[in-house]
Every structure is written in structure tokens, then in C-alpha cells.
A and B are shown apart, each in its own frame.
Chain A
Amino acid sequence: MSETATPSQTKTGNRSSLAQELLVPVLAVVTGLIIGAIVIVASGANVFDAYGALFTGSFGSPIRLIEGLQVYFSTGETKELLRAIYPFTESLVTATPYIFAGLSVALGFRAGLFNIGAEGQFFIGALCSAFVGYSVKGLPMIIHLPLAILAGALGGALWGMIPGYLKAKFGAHEVVNTIMMNWIAFRLSDWLLNGPMKASGFRPVTPNVLPTAELPRFFDDPLRFNLGFFLALLVAYLVYWFLFKTTTGFEIRSVGANPDAAKYAGMSIVKNLVLVMALAGGLAGMAGSAQVLGVDHWVGQGFSAGYGFDAIALALLGKSHPFGVVLSALLFGFLRSGATNMQSRAGIPIDIISIIQGLVIVFIAAPAIIRWFYRIRSIKTEETVLTRGWGK
């Protein structure tokens, strides 16, 4: 994360500043887990059972892994081994859309825009990818799969571009407009699933995408771990490269840091705002693509449980840096995925994970709490400007 070079940093200060940057998020997560433990105890459950189940649910049980390896080496039977690694791969599967959606929101933050529309862009991306995935026939995978992903990215980009344009041209606040675009996306998808995109039969779902449009899976059923995860990592690197190594990326960060200065330096605010929102939308759209092409293969009602909204939290946690986003997305993926096991084996409602996530965000948003709690001396760093006020 040392590349988040703010002007005040010197080269020699990088290592300690990296530690400083990581300190508050890590402590926020730890504190969230501790308070979560108190809530679990208060609800009358055993906190060791709960977090133990959370751990084995997200990483898998080490004992089982050893047993699985033994069976594999003695008999060549992979079933036990696959069962042992299932939880870990499932966590990565859950993290995949989080990475894309988190990058989307983080990119917006970098330009001083608050993209609350990631959820809607996610839906539109998923629907576009599904449409190309099931309707375009006879293409080889090498063309069909990229085409389906591209469709999702373009759909999301269009959905993000509209609020970006309204903001740049008319000063209409993107928070309001992205929320509105979410509702349009939800109702549009209701209509599409009940009408034009409905599969044969009575259910309001799309047909399955063709095998040529599916992101390849690495293991047999029921393991759903697929290429999408690595695609997400690649895209995260590309976003990092774009933001910090290209002129356009510099312009975007300048617009975010100080729009007036950027304007007088000859940068086009309109162009950059529209571009950022389109890119952010495209990233959220790709989250939907990865989910439909890699995991579900069809879209029905309730396709997303708020990936786009959780993305806001994890972009904050990741300090709007692509690599930070990847780390936070992994954390959220492990928490969310492990929660199923915790719910089942320890009888802890899945909502406890939302509480922990919420607490983490509170601590990130108000780092003073964490600093006070752990008696950390506040260091003078430039706080990232998240959003600007109404209008321009």
C-alpha cells in the first residue's frame, strides 16, 4: 500500500506509514470481532463455538484437510479432499463480486464521487451478461465468454454514466441519482425476469447461460471456485495501474482532491466525472457478470443480497486503494461465507456478521474512537476526501 503516496510522504517514511495506514483498519476489525463476541455471549451462545464455526466455515477445518490429504495419497480418492477445501474456495467465491464492487465504489471515492448505485449497476451487469450468455449461440468459448463479460461491463458502465453525466452537466448530486438508478434497475429487472428474459416454464428467472459463456470452474461440483476470482485480482491491478500510473488516473485523483485546482490546471471536470462514473459502473457491472457467469448461471429475483451496498463499506475499509479493497473484500468474503457454518453449527443468526461489519465501518469512519480506545497518538495524515457537497 506504500504506493498511496500522498504529497506529505517521503520515501523513507513509507514503511512506517504503511504500518500506520494498516493499523486503524486492522484494529477496527479486531474491535468489531470483540464487540461481536460480546453480542454473541449476550445472546446466550458460546463465543468459542461461534467463532470456531466461523473459522472452519471460512477456512475449512485443518484436521479435515489432513484427513483428506491422507485419503488422497493412500487411495487417490479426491472426494474428502474437495470437501475439506470447499469452505476456503467458497469464501473466495463470495469475495469475488466484493472485489469488483469494492473497486467500483473506491474509484468513485478517488474522484470525490459517492457511487451508491453499485447495487443497481450489479443487477444491470448481471442481466446483460446473462442475456449474451444464453441468447448468443454457436460461438466458441474464447469469444463468447469475453463477450458476455464485456456486455455486463458495458451495461453497468451505461448505468453509472447517466448519474455521472447529470452531475457533471447539471450538478445533480450523484448520491440521489445513483439511488434512483438503483430503483430503476430493480424494477427493470423484475419486469425483464417476468417478461422478455423469462425462461420457458413459469418461474421468473432467465434461462441458463450456455456452457461456452461460463467462467471455467477449477474443481468438480459442488465446488464453485472459478476463474472469476483471478479475473477480479487482475482487474484490481489494472485499476491500481490506471489510478496511479496513468495521466488520466492522475487527473481523476486531482479532480477528487481539489476540483477547482484541477479545473484551473486545465483538466476537464465534465469528462473526468463522466469517465469515472462509467468506469465505476463498469466495474460493478462486472461484479454481476462474474456472479452470473461463474456462480449462478441464471438470474432470478433476489440475485444479490446487497453486494453493491456492502461495497461502500469495504471501499472505506480498504481506504479506496485497489489493494486495500482486495484485502477488505477477502475479509468480507470470509466473514460472509463462514457465517453459514456459524449459523448452522452454533445457532448464531447470520445477522451477527452484519453487526460486525457495521461496527467495523463505524470504527473506520470515526478512527478517533479506535485511536482513543487503543491510545494511539494521532498522526497528521491527509484524510482522503470522500465526497464533496451538493452540486459542484
Chain B
Amino acid sequence: MKKLYFVIAALIVASLVLTACGGGGAASSDAIKVGQVTDLGGIDDKSFNATAYAGAEKAVADFGVEAKYLESTQQSDYNKNIQQFIDEDTDLIVTVGFLLGVDTAVAAKANPETYFAIVDYSYPDCFGTDFVEGQTCGSATELPNVLGLTFATDQAGFLAGYAAAASTQTGKVATFGGINIPPVTIFMIGFEAGVKYYNEQNDANVEVLGWSTAASDGSFTGNFDSLDDGRSFAESFVQEGADIIMPVAGPVGLGSAAYCQETGSCKIIGVDTDWTVSSPEYTDVILTSVMKNMNIAVYDTIKSVVDGNFAGGVYLGTLANGGVGISAVAGASAELNAEIEAAAAALSDGSLTVNGVLGQ
């Protein structure tokens, strides 16, 4: 029992010490503080949380800001993590994903001195709460301290669609999504438009499976986590004759990539980041990737805080400002690359638009 008393005594002493040294709060420092609150994907999701944080890390290297992140493991963490950063007098809080929309708006309203940037979301939007009175749903004027980071991924999807149409052997390309929501379908709309544009330019007849902008519907796995679904969707698209697939469902697409690699019957178009970098094991089956450069958006936002010219409202990442783009197309001929560049230039200057091609 002596040992037991020793342990208890040590514990009491330790708790006293901890209490004493715990009260100091954050060490005061003049550096700009940046905090990122992830969504449920976590910081190493190889997708938008990781990409956004890469931008913060670059800002740490370039501007000497302090950056850290808090991972959310469930819905009620969003608010808690934002409060934690507010409590630490963080200058800029980056929240990732539309599910943090309400908590970000409420916190921004209550803390007008703190800057916020939210990925994949922009205000005003009442978060589906049209019948709840007194809910904060902001706008650039109502929430001047919030910047919504949005991305014209349809432009990049367009280029990927064009590349896919040019590369297919079977005359059929496919895409599927996680769930039928705009941040997902915008990739698919661009993809379809790119294929259609290729057909017009080259008098071809490449078919798109898995999405129709006219019907506003397509193939969806219903989740963003099942690799098995990625595999079975890829399998059925291959059976229908497609040989290039763009899965817009986060890690679900890795299941499709595994299927393509095992069977050698298809190629994959990655989304969000360059998959040859984030998942190099599948490099041989990746045609290209539609990149949503959240790192650049976050970096630019931090830069604006450092420079003292942060402005709320909406940031739109486009081909023109480098906010979106595609990675090098595997095995592309010089002509194809030139055609893609020409299309990118036309999309940038507005002479070509996704809606125009789709006749919407």
C-alpha cells in the first residue's frame, strides 16, 4: 500500500503544479495568429483540409505567422474549436467546409474583431433555417469580417472533360459524385461541358455517363467514405463501356483507382488535389486531376491579413487567378496540350463559358 500512497501524493502535487502553471494563458506574441478548424475529414484527409492547411504552412514560412489547426470529430466540435481559437485571440480563423457555415456566422457576428475565412461556402445563406427567427445569416455587409472561399471548379472540370474526351478509347467517359449538392455537381457540370465542347470542336461523339446537367441528376454513392462503393461504381461504368472515370466523392475515388489499377480497364481523373502527389501509388492510372487550390486561396487570405487589407465577401478561385486548374494530362500529345491551353485561355477571358457550351 505504500506505493499506492506515493502515487496518490504524487498526483496531488502534480495537480497543484498543473493548476498553478495552467492559468497563464497564451504567451503573448506579436505574430499574426491563424487557426484552422477542420471538418470531420481531419487534417490528413489528403483533400481540402490538408490543402487548405498547406496554404497556412506556406504563410508560416513566408510571413512568419503562427498557424495551428484543430480537428473536429463531430458536429458539436465546430463551435467548440472556433471558441478555442477566439479564446486564444487568433487573428484569422479558417473554417473548412459548408457544415461549419452556421457556427462560423454566429461566431463572426459575436466577434467582429476576428477575421474568418470559410472554405466552400459564401454568405448570405441562411443555412436552410428560413423559418427560424433571429438566426444569423450574413452577407458581406452584415458580416464584413468573413470571407467565403469559393471555387469555379466547373472551369477546371471543363478542361478535364476535354482531356478525357480526347483520351478515351471506347468513346465513353463517366463521372459520379458523393451526394447531389452543388460543391460536388459543379465538377460534373464542367466535365460534361468539356466533353460536349470536344465533340463540337472535333466532330466527335463521346458520351458522358453518370451525370446529366439537363436532368440535374446522375450517379451518387450517397457517402464520402466507402471505398467499396468507389470500386463497384467503377466496375459498373466499365461494364457500360466507359474507360475514363472522374469520381467526385473524396476518398471513395481511391476505391475506383484501385479497381482501375487491378483490371487495367480504366483511367481515373482525380479531384481537389493532384492525386499523383497525394496518392502516388495510383499514378499509373491517373489521367489528370481537377485541382481546387484551396492552399492558394488560404495563403492569399492570410497575406491580406498580414498586409492589413483583409476584405470580407467572396473570393472566387478561377483558372485566371490560379484558384483552380488541372494537373498535367498523362500521355497527352502536344496538340492536346495546346488545345487545353487554348480552352483555358478562352474560359479565362470569358469568350467560352460552361453554361454557354451546355446551352443553359
Q: Taking beta carbons and an 8 Å cutoff, which residues of A are in contact with B?
A: 27, 30, 48, 51-53, 55-56, 61-64, 83, 86, 90, 93, 190-191, 194, 198-205, 207-208, 210-211, 221-222, 224, 291, 295-296, 298-305, 337, 340-341, 343-345, 347, 350, 374-376
* Known contacts A194-B222, A302-B40, A344-B68; A201 and B125 CB within 8 A of each other: yes
* Known contacts A201-B128, A203-B98, A344-B88; A53 and B22 CB within 8 A of each other: yes
Q: Please report the total number of B residues contacting A with Cβ < 8 Å.
A: 60
CA distance A300 to B75 in the complex (A): 7
Chain B positions 1-25 with a Cβ under 8 Å from a chain A Cβ: 1, 3-4, 7-8, 11, 14-15, 17-19, 21-25
Kindly supply a per-residue 1/0 record for chain B positions 76-98, scoring 1 wherever the CB is within 8 Å of any chain A CB and 0 otherwise.
11011101110110000000001
Residue pair B222, A190 in contact (C-beta under 8 Å): yes
A295 smallest CB distance to B (angstroms): 5
* Known contacts A296-B75, A341-B84; A30 and B11 CB within 8 A of each other: yes
Residue pair A305, B106 in contact (C-beta under 8 Å): no
B76 in complex: contacting residue of A63, A194, A204, A296, CB < 8 Å: A296
B152 at the interface (CB under 8 A from A): no
B73 in complex: contacting residue of A224, A305, A345, CB < 8 Å: A305
User: Chain A contacts of B182 at CB under 8 A?
Assistant: 202
* Known contacts A61-B23, A61-B25; A202 and B181 CB within 8 A of each other: yes
Given A64-B25, A207-B132; 12 other pairs, CB 8 A cutoff: A52-B22, A55-B18, A56-B22, A191-B222, A201-B127, A202-B182, A203-B98, A208-B128, A208-B129, A222-B79, A344-B88, A375-B3
Residue pair B18, A221 in contact (C-beta under 8 Å): no
User: Chain A contacts of B106 at CB under 8 A?
Assistant: 221
CA distance A30 to B4 in the complex (A): 11
User: Chain A contacts of B1 at CB under 8 A?
Assistant: 375-376
User: Chain A contacts of B101 at CB under 8 A?
Assistant: 203
User: Chain A contacts of B156 at CB under 8 A?
Assistant: none
A356 smallest CB distance to B (angstroms): 14
B215 at the interface (CB under 8 A from A): no
Residue pair A300, B99 in contact (C-beta under 8 Å): yes
B203 at the interface (CB under 8 A from A): no
CA distance A341 to B24 in the complex (A): 13
Closest residue on chain A to residue B88 by CB atoms:
A344
CA distance A300 to B102 in the complex (A): 12
Q: List 30 A-B contacts (CB under 8 A).
A: A30-B8, A30-B11, A55-B22, A62-B19, A63-B23, A64-B23, A191-B222, A201-B126, A201-B128, A202-B181, A202-B182, A203-B99, A203-B101, A207-B132, A208-B129, A222-B83, A224-B76, A291-B76, A298-B102, A302-B75, A305-B77, A340-B77, A340-B84, A343-B70, A344-B68, A344-B85, A345-B26, A347-B68, A374-B7, A375-B3
B188 smallest CB distance to A (angstroms): 14
CA distance A30 to B101 in the complex (A): 40
Residue pair A205, B128 in contact (C-beta under 8 Å): yes
B223 at the interface (CB under 8 A from A): yes
- Name the residue among A55, A83, A295 with the largest chain B CB count within 10 angstroms: A55
B71 at the interface (CB under 8 A from A): yes
User: Chain A contacts of B352 at CB under 8 A?
Assistant: none
User: Chain A contacts of B126 at CB under 8 A?
Assistant: 201
User: Chain A contacts of B23 at CB under 8 A?
Assistant: 56, 61-64
Residue pair A48, B128 in contact (C-beta under 8 Å): no
Kindly supply a per-residue 1/0 record for chain B positions 159-184, scoring 1 wherever the CB is within 8 Å of any chain A CB and 0 otherwise.
00000000000000000000111110
User: Chain B contacts of A202 at CB under 8 A?
Assistant: 181-183
Residue pair B127, A48 in contact (C-beta under 8 Å): no
Residue pair A222, B3 in contact (C-beta under 8 Å): no
| Closest 5 pairs between A and B when the two form their complex, measured CB to CB | A199-B128, A63-B23, A305-B74, A305-B73, A56-B22
* Known contacts A208-B132, A344-B70, A345-B26; A51 and B14 CB within 8 A of each other: yes
User: Chain B contacts of A222 at CB under 8 A?
Assistant: 79, 83, 107, 110
User: Chain A contacts of B222 at CB under 8 A?
Assistant: 190-191, 194
B130 at the interface (CB under 8 A from A): yes
B81 in complex: contacting residue of A64, A204, A296, A340, CB < 8 Å: A340
CA distance A200 to B17 in the complex (A): 52
User: Chain A contacts of B81 at CB under 8 A?
Assistant: 340
Kindly supply a per-residue 1/0 record for chain B positions 102-136, scoring 1 wherever the CB is within 8 Å of any chain A CB and 0 otherwise.
10001100100000000000000111111111010
User: Chain A contacts of B21 at CB under 8 A?
Assistant: 48, 52
A228 smallest CB distance to B (angstroms): 12
* Known contacts A190-B222, A203-B181, A295-B76; A51 and B26 CB within 8 A of each other: no
A61 in complex: contacting residue of B15, B22, B133, CB < 8 Å: B22
